[in-house]
Structure 1
């Protein structure tokens, strides 16, 4: 049930939810071939993660230490079902940079993941292409992936200095130093090149790109919006999701304009942004955030939901932020995102042990893809 919590039984048939039977009507539950005991646990929809950078760390856990795509795929999906994520939108950043965010590696990952996920998998794999808007040579590659429907979400990013995530003076140089090992004059020169590219952005071309994605049924998101002016600009492009607004005023304005606002689970769990940006909790408390994503740490998804519940949020509302709300934003709610008759049986059995939520079983299409059984003492 998307708007309430009930005690009862969920009936599954052929990978879908057949019915939800309240506890007081248990006498009408038919005999079943298989019964999964969820006594003392919560049964919730599988979580839908619309923005995860985890795949980048699986491909390249350290700069220059790249691993095979098949290994990254299989190892990551095993971790994701442990955390209760049953639909993942892998974030691959086509920034024109080096390593895992180079155009070449992103292309390799897109092709490999598309092939592997259509062979067999533990969960629903989707591809979120993150396009850096100053990566002008790659725009034809993005168009190709839109036309052949090899991606399921497109986001437009601008990480150039002087705005967005790097509005503070010198912050981009610090990032370059940590990520690429460039120091002093070299870091400053790279920042200046980014500033010059930013001046060349053609928003008419970006609007056409966004519109072509939307026409193909691919939702489009913006990234690190920092002002009402930026929100108005992306609204003109037809974008429907605002990822990680930089400040509360922008988040509120985006929400008032009808955008789906997404915030990071790590921000909620840690009680603030690691980059000293907007507190996700402040946005949620202001009803200006609707979706929680894992960002860079999938382990934080379920923990973030229960932190909200422990702070007084209605349980059904908290669950929707990782289930039905992202499903609606990405237009997959016909089959996913809630426990309703006819929908896919993507379900979690969650135990709260000493105040901490633990996924005990993960079901995708009614099949158990993960199960944990604890012993009392070793």
Structure 2
């Protein structure tokens, strides 16, 4: 397969030319058009590596499309997978939550169904994107460690993150924001919220630190990438570094982002944060970190289409120090490097032919076609 008349987004430059694929890998590329009649016309679009998503909660909404509605697993997984590739994502880490911030939450009930759907569909080769697992471990919960120990050796786990959403911690160091968020989420009156907050503090005091240490130890023993989550202070980051974290997910302050970089952690922020122009939790905005060069990876989090959109917004924003190749690396090369996925993430000879053809229409970037290992999946 030859793709002609495209702007190739390479590691360090954008080149007008053509690219050839054979046996699922990139054979070569040129800064000139192919003269072969079978070459596919890219119509002047950008050809970039397939996007790599490290943290998406998108699967949840297909398993529970409405409160108390359980959707068949094979249909939910297929719909989720289709949305991923339509967004240009060819490698996706589906984030499933172990433990829960409230007993009886849908995530806990759907856990086994979601994991089985991801692993079974991947094993059967029916997915368009390549799906792996990201275990999000909610530390202040008595079920978290036992669930983690059941799942960690099942295969397919590429990333583990350590989360603590208890009041006063990390994402919710601002207690006013904590109360606003959970009163809105669970429709709690003031008295119910007081009880819920006290309950979460007690759980955190009992379980957070033992779970943090035990899970980190098991990840190091298995060489599975570990991520911090919502670090807010230099002390948080120092602890995450000591535990062996390689990714800092959603640091909530400039101070934490700076410390993460100093400790060698890749700073991951939400692509929706870029698109919306700020954090819905009132924390540091991703564009603020981009402006000072403290942004390494973007994740679509809860909105898959935001990933490609955000990368181009970062590149085209004049106040950012990012070229287009550097911005595209936030969603391709850098996440691949963080997980040691050396076979993808760049347009280069011998790399997997995971590719996205994108066009600009007005102010928006649209996905035209997507290939995974040379096979067109969108």
Q: What's the TM-score, normalizing by structure 1?
A: 0.91
Match of 2:224 in 1: 218
5+ unaligned residues in a row in structure 2: which ranges?
A: 1-9
CA displacement 1:19-59 (0-9 Å, x = unmatched): 12222xx5xx6958x52211310100010011111111111
The offset of 1:261, in angstroms, is 0.7
Q: Is it true that 1:115 corresponds to 2:120 in the alignment?
A: yes
Distance 1:35 1:188 in 2: 65
Alignment partner of 1:6: what SS?
A: strand
Residue 74 (structure 1) aligned to one of 56, 63, 78 = 78
Match of 1:287 in 2: 293
The offset of 1:337, in angstroms, is 0.4
Match of 1:105 in 2: 110
Kindly indicate whether the alpha-carbon contact (under 8 Å) linking 2:136 and 2:163 is maintained by their aligned counterparts in 1.
yes
Alignment partner of 1:118: what SS?
A: helix
The offset of 1:17, in angstroms, is 0.6
Kindly indicate whether the alpha-carbon contact (under 8 Å) linking 2:122 and 2:131 is maintained by their aligned counterparts in 1.
yes
Match of 2:334 in 1: 325
Kindly indicate whether the alpha-carbon contact (under 8 Å) linking 2:269 and 2:299 is maintained by their aligned counterparts in 1.
yes
The offset of 1:79, in angstroms, is 1.2
Kindly indicate whether the alpha-carbon contact (under 8 Å) linking 2:138 and 2:163 is maintained by their aligned counterparts in 1.
yes
Distance change (3 Å), C-alpha of 1:21 and 1:214? farther
Match of 2:346 in 1: 338
Q: Is it true that 1:6 corresponds to 2:11 in the alignment?
A: no
Distance 1:318 1:343 in 2: 20
Match of 2:155 in 1: 149
The offset of 1:279, in angstroms, is 0.7
Distance 1:252 1:126 in 2: 29
Alignment partner of 1:11: what SS?
A: strand
Q: Is it true that 1:303 corresponds to 2:309 in the alignment?
A: yes
Distance 1:59 1:252 in 2: 37
Distance 2:15 2:214 in 1: 46
Distance 2:15 2:303 in 1: 30
The offset of 1:5, in angstroms, is 1.5
Q: Is it true that 1:181 corresponds to 2:187 in the alignment?
A: yes
5+ unaligned residues in a row in structure 1: which ranges?
A: 371-378
Q: What's the TM-score, normalizing by structure 2?
A: 0.91
Q: Following superposition of structure 1 onto structure 2, how do residues 334-373 of structure 1 map, counting pairs within 5 Å?
A: 334-370=342-378
Q: Is it true that 1:271 corresponds to 2:277 in the alignment?
A: yes
Alpha-carbon RMSD? 1.7
Aligned residues: 363
Q: Which runs of 4+ in 1 moved over 6 A?
A: none
Distance 1:167 1:194 in 2: 14
